[in-house]
Structure 1
Amino acid sequence: MTDTPKREPAPPRPATTVLLLRPSRRGDTSSPLEVFMVVRHHQIDSFSGAIVFPGGKLEDADGDKRLRARSGGPDRISDDELKFRIAGVREAFEECGVLLARKRGQKALIAAADLKPIEDRWRAKLAKDEASILDLVEAEDLELATELMTPFAHWITPTFVPKRFDTWFFLAEAPEDQVALHDGSESTDSVWIGAQEAIDEATAGRRTLVHATQKNLELLAEGGTVAGALAQAAKRKVITVQPWVETKDGKRYLHIPPDAGYRNLVREMPPQPGAVPQTGR
């Protein structure tokens, strides 16, 4: 009898997730932060029905060299990181209609009145892969506000999960006059919610959170305000998190690295075969 060959782990797909932040009271920067989250469509196999941050897989065009000249703060951002930030700008626009960009030569981000015709021309095309982010910025003469995206976390899905992602998380303050709204296809609902409130609602069974989302909400809650969260993220070294499983006394536990800045590093996994916490957005 021959042993069953051990299956090689699926390679993780590069992806970006964006945590759009705003004060809970409009115009009051000292008020607790809220983060924009969407509910994944029930017909999508990745995190169906869960509440997640907007984001998605990188596209080839996100790494186009021509985009460096149309990105904010390019001298301080490596090519590899820049493509993840660009993907984040694109995904935020596709999934919730927020465009972190400005007319080239200007300092202010695009106002809502100027954004509407751009959204009408481009949002659906980008979502359907009928156009790229490069097409958008060249046609509208834009500069992407990549310098406003602060690296927050880096998670890689565990090797035992069939569908894996190599995901960078970024914080960004949402433009005050742009309206974030779910796209109606990948996501079916959306909410601005406090980080701790989202955790509490999941604990009470009113919402579903995947493991990575919950851990990053816990980390985000420590910042308190938008400015506090951005300042903490800017000072913290981002450590790659790839959870692993250990078995003890017949139970399986999911671990994350102790030096990545999170609390509660161990989580007991459900006892049912195949019912494992996933990591993603």
Structure 2
Amino acid sequence: MTIDSHGFPPPPGLVENARRFYAEGGTPAVPRVAATVMLLRPAGDDFEAYVIRRVAGMAFGGVYAFPGGGVDRSDSQAHLDWAGPQPASWGERLSLSPDAAQAVVCAAAREVFEEAGVLLAGPDAATVVGDVSDDDWERAREDLVAHRLGFADLLAGRRLTLRSDLLLPWSRWITPEFEPRRFDTYFFVALLPEGQRTRDVSGEADHTMWIRPADALARAQAGEISMLPPTVFNLAEVAAAGNLAGLTRAAATRDLASPVTPRVEFPDGAAPRFVVR
């Protein structure tokens, strides 16, 4: 099945890379495993998503995306208190080994703390920490980003348990074969924990905002903001859930075993289009 790009033309840079790759018969780069978190919060009868704009000069700079990044070696070696589905259960859902699944889930929780200041952990399996924006927490976050402190050590030092149940698996995307930097990215949904707030703390972002998915899509279609296709598709799909309750129900049946494999097509006499199969 071919899915269109929701009316969004491929970004020019993608089209240029695709033309060159297909013309030269390039060799695809090996994708790095990554995790991304679509952080959501209620907004009246609707909900909003948290997006950050990557700084110009970075890979995918100048576009809005969700907090996330590559899986670190420490994510699979971490020994930490764990609540919610265990790594073996996550492995079944993600079609990964338990160790690899733990690494992806840890990376998701670590990245959303590093890039948004939101911590999906609590003193026990039924609670979540409150505000983590004071100077003490900020020093810990900076140590984590600088690799002076591991995520498991941060949680253990504060006697906290990782709440894996606060992450809902949503989708898996692999960067097109023609891109020089590729990621095998697992997308998760998480609700902003009560008492916590997002902060513009990532040195990789120059702007952040909460926005209704439908509004983000409208602004992207109007050319007011730029988003890469995975962000567009995932925003469109969470918007289609209707509300947070519907989104939670939808997440339970999402297929993460089969990755989305996008490509750019060049129809005769028509503009290039971005499709996934």
CA RMSD in angstroms comes to: 2.0
Q: Please state how far the C-alpha of 1:255 moved relative to its aligned partner.
A: 2.1
For the pair 1:32 / 2:50, whether they are aligned, the reply is: no
Q: What secondary structure, in the 3-state scheme, does the structure 2 residue paired with 1:126 have? A: helix
38, 41, 48: which one aligns with 1:22: 41
For 2:228, which of 194, 207, 210 is the aligned residue?
Answer: 210
Matches of 1:187 and 1:17 in 2, distance apart?
15
Q: Is the 8 A contact 1:72 1:143 kept in 2?
A: no
Which residue of structure 1 aligns with residue 18 of structure 2?
none
Whether contact under 8 Å (2:169, 2:254) holds in the other structure is: no
Partner Cα distance (2:189, 2:233) in 1: 15
- 8 Å contact kept, 2:169–2:189: yes
Query: RCO (CA 8 Å, sep 6+): is it higher in 1 or 2?
Result: 2
Superposed CA deviations along residues 130-176 of structure 1, whole A, max 9, x for unmatched, are: 22112211211111111211110100011111111100000011112
Q: Which runs of 4+ in 1 moved over 4 A?
A: none
Kept in 1: contact 2:120–2:128 (CA 8 A) = yes
TM-score by length of 1: 0.81
Percent of pairs with identical residues: 33
Which blocks of at least 5 consecutive residues in structure 2 are unaligned?
1-22, 92-97
The amino acid across from 1:198 in the alignment is A
> What residue identity is the alignment partner of 2:126?
K
Which of 164, 181, 184 is residue 199 of structure 2 equivalent to?
Answer: 181
Contact preservation (8 Å) 2:78, 2:152? no
Q: TM-score, normalised by structure 2?
A: 0.82
Q: Say whether 1:233 aligns with 2:251.
A: yes
Counterpart among 145, 165, 177 of residue 147 in structure 1: 165
- d(CA) in 2 for partners of 1:243, 1:230: 25
Deviations 1:16-70 (A, max 9, x none): 0001111113xxxxx10111111111232x2211111110111111111523x43
Contact 2:114 2:202 in 1 (8 A): no
Name the counterpart of 2:267.
248
Post-superposition offset of 1:197:
0.5
- Helix, strand or coil: the match of 1:212? helix
Q: How many equivalent pairs are there?
A: 245
**C-alpha deviation, 1:237, in angstroms:** 2.4
Cα 1:65–1:183 change in 2 (3 A) is closer
